[in-house]
Amino acid sequence: MSGVLSGFAVVWTVIAVGYFVGRTGVLGENARYVLNRLTFFVASPALLFTTLADSNPASVLGPFLGVAALSSLATAIAFVLVTRWWLRRDLTESTIGAMSASTVNSANLGLPIALYVLGDMAHAAPVILWQLALYSPVCLAILDASTSRHRTTVFSMLVQTLKNPMIVGSLAGLACALFDFRLPQPLGDPIELIAGASIPAMLIAFGISLVGSRPLEASGGRRADTLVATGMKLVFQPVVAWALAVWVFRLDPHAVFAAVIMAALPTAQNIFVTASRYERGIVLAKDTVLLTTIVAVPAMMLVPLLLT
């Protein structure tokens, strides 16, 4: 228990530094934008590559991937069933809501939590692979189909997925692990050095994003949607993950804890970017990201108590 609390303390301390940086403006008004792009396009792909290259492929493609996939799908379906006829949202906004309720922040928070709380960043890799390689492309295809007159093809989905630098880094690292290939030191050392910038930059950017956060304003008109999505993200999805880990995949206690922690991560910040891109569900996505972000880490600290 002390190790878990220590891990959360490390994460929250760096987030607090980011919040202070954002409040003081010491890095300028574009700091969060620059840090997020640095982690997404440069540092995180390098981190995923080095993590997966040294991992056991069976663990990445094994039960954790199944728990991540099935728990997110169950949560998305539950959100649609609960809200589609009650709140009468159209397909586009229902999809944005389902993504908000079921897509975890597997990179910006998942990687640091996996390292400092679970002790192994490989726990985040199956979630990242599932979301970036399969789940998000399918959701985006649904959004394209519901908002565009042009037909979305499997080929266009595949091309878009392969353009994601985090997918490229993950697949390259997984290939190295599968074929037991090691990069020459002059090439491997710079990649490891760049990877080291990922987690602190993620957490500082995350802290900056909390400055001025005010979810659930009445003017948005999406309080019910946001509360349902938040409850499903922070309660329903972790419970489903626990049930799958214990009863379906029969994982050991530490693995169950890891699966539940990964499922309890807050909503991914890129859902707000997606909502802005399609100009639907913007308030719902923004408020769910902010609310789950504020509540998730304290809520995750209860997981060890509930599982013991």
Q: State residue 262's pLDDT score.
A: 94
157-177 per-position pLDDT tens digit: 677 667 778 778 878 888 888
What CA–CA distance (Å, rounded) separates 274 from 287? 14
- Looking at the 3D structure of the chain, how many domains does it have? 1
Residues 6+ apart with CB under 8 A from 228: 79, 82, 83, 97, 101
According to the per-residue pLDDT averaged within each range, which of 80-94, 103-117, 187-201, 274-288 is highest? 187-201
Predicted TM-score (pTM) of the model is 0.79
* Domain residue limits at 128: 2-307
Q: State residue 145's pLDDT score.
A: 76
Mean pLDDT computed over 9-26: 87
Report which of residues 219 and 121 the model is more confident about. Answer: 121
Instruction: Indicate if the pLDDT at residue 7 is higher than 80.
Output: no
Mean pLDDT across the chain: 84
Residues 6+ apart with CB under 8 A from 243: none
What CA–CA distance (Å, rounded) separates 30 from 174? 34
Q: State residue 20's pLDDT score.
A: 94
Instruction: Indicate if the pLDDT at residue 57 is higher than 90.
Output: no
The tokens describing 104, both together, are: 């975890």
Residue 248 is part of a domain; what is its CATH number?
1.20.1530.20
Q: How confident is the model at residue 80 (pLDDT cuts 50, 70, 90)?
A: very high
The tokens describing 236, both together, are: 């329903």
Instruction: Indicate if the pLDDT at residue 235 is higher than 90.
Output: yes
SS3 at position 79: helix
What CA–CA distance (Å, rounded) separates 254 from 306? 13
8 A C-beta contact, residue 101 and residue 229: yes
